[in-house]
Amino acid sequence: MTETTGLALGLRALTKRYGPVTALEPTDLDIGAGEFLTLLGPSGSGKTTLLNLIAGYTEPSGGTIRIGARDVTRTPARHRNIGMVFQSYALFPHMTVAQNLAYGLEARRVPKAEIARRVEAALALMQLEGYGNRGVQQMSGGQQQRVAVARALVIEPDVLLMDEPLGALDRQLRRQVQVELRRLHLKHGRTTIYVTHDQEEALVLSDRIAVMGKGRIQQLGSAAELYARPANSFIAGFIGESNLPEARVTSVAGGMALADIPALGLSIEAPVVPGVAPGAPARLMIRPEHLRLLPDAGEGQDAGEGIGARIIEVIYLGELTQFGLETSRGAFLVARGMEGRGLRQGDTVRLGWSPRDVLIVPDTGP
Ligand code: ADP
Ligand code: MG
């Protein structure tokens, strides 16, 4: 985590309902000063709702919001000292770059000389020196996005909020601006909440990631924590990739479960995360990179060694090769690695894994 000197933001039981739709279930969240936290989740999971509640653009149905020591639950947006960057940039189209930046400072009655100084500093921060007098419509998408960030930063917000700010940029430019945003954060350490549906972007930028699904924070942690111990099958499939065959758990003790895996025709013992219980829906998580392919020795091989499967697809990814596999029970699995060069579509193989690389997780359903 980047330098943390206290709590910047605290949410308690924060909730938003639109009639019968609960956009945000009661949510608790603490964000440290200087932290970069990402809300990651599919479309409709409540990310924008949560961000707009913090900004004060949306009224909560319940709960409280603190910024530093202040309870701002009923404070109007313009008095919360929050910087916001939208996917659409929302720049004033008929103003120059400098006028866009000065707007928020003028509204706060900052003296003219100081406005000029702060606008220059914010432009420099985003590598936009000399662009102050340009009309924003004369600038490229990437430049407009930088202006939007500069405009959010110029007011020296207590918290910087960004809602899918790179969504309108092409992939290459997005990668470039991600790295810039990360550098900017490491250098200035402004508390930031960033929204994206792109897991790669979340991994590049964040100190911690809150994975959202169905109006709830499903899990909060560092990228490494979410990857190693996903709380459920939704997280396992959303952070990185995973094979997730059904697991029928028969017993759980000491962090280990006994389970039948019908798709693999196996009974196994594997570590579990909280929430796994006999009879409750569960899945076995096997990451593609943890699935080993052993050439099939053919007749006479010990049938206990691994699971028989046929390679139905081979995709070259450069350094790695990805294999689509069909087990004898008709289950589809994905493996990825450097081993198995020379294996081809149609070959039969045996699959294995190290027991400490798999995990049984609760099944969260579709
Ligand atoms: P995300 O940003 O993760 O895509 P949103 O926060 O925009 O998700 O939406 C969460 C849920 O709340 C969705 O089901 C959406 O349809 C609903 N929702 C959001 N805003 C409104 C609104 N103004 N009126 C009614 N429903 C809304
Ligand atoms: Mg959204």
pLDDT in tens, 59-71: 999 999 999 999 9
Q: How far apart are CA 226 and CA 130, in angstroms?
A: 43
Alpha-carbon distance of 247 to 46, in angstroms, equals: 30
The number of folded domains in the chain is 2
Q: What are the helix and strand counts (H, E) for the chain?
A: 8, 20
Task: Report CA(46)–ligand 1 centroid distance (Å).
Answer: 6
| Environment of ion ligand 2 (residues, CB < 5 A) | 48
Predicted TM-score of the model (pTM)? 0.88
What residue has token string 């949560």?
50
From 49, 87, 216, the mutation candidate for ligand 1 (largest count of ligand atoms within 8 A of CB) is: 49
341 has a pLDDT exceeding 70 = no
82 found inside a domain: yes
What pLDDT, in 10s, does the model give residues 269-305? Answer: 999 999 999 999 999 999 999 998 887 765 544 444 6
Tell which of 188, 218, 233 closes a domain: 233
Assess if residue 269 is contained within a domain: yes
Check pocket membership of 354 for ligand 1, CB cut-off 6 A. Answer: no
220 CA to centre of ligand 1 in angstroms: 21
pLDDT of residue 3: 43
Q: Which of 210, 233, 256 is the last residue of a domain?
A: 233
- Segments forming the whole domain that contains residue 305: 234-362
Q: In this structure, are 227 and 325 located in the same domain?
A: no
- What's the pLDDT score for residue 274? 95
205 SS3 class = helix
Which position has the token pair 């997280």?
235
Query: Nearest C-alpha to atom 13 of ligand 1 is from which residue?
Result: 44
Residues 272 and 355 in one domain: yes
2 is a domain residue: no
Q: Specify whether 78 is located in the same domain as 220.
A: yes
Question: Beta strands of the chain (E only): which ranges?
Answer: 7-18, 21-32, 36-40, 62-67, 70-71, 82-85, 159-163, 192-196, 208-213, 216-221, 246-253, 256-261, 266-271, 282-285, 292-295, 307-316, 321-327, 332-337, 348-352, 359-362
Mean pLDDT of the chain: 91
* 58 in contact with ligand 1, CB cutoff 6 A: no
Do both 228 and 242 map to the same domain? no
Is 167's C-beta closer than 6 angstroms to any atom of ligand 1? no
Evaluate whether residue 324 is within a structural domain: yes
Q: Whose CA is nearest to atom 17 of ligand 1?
A: 23
The per-residue pLDDT for range 129-155, each reduced to its tens digit, is 999 999 999 998 888 988 999 999 999
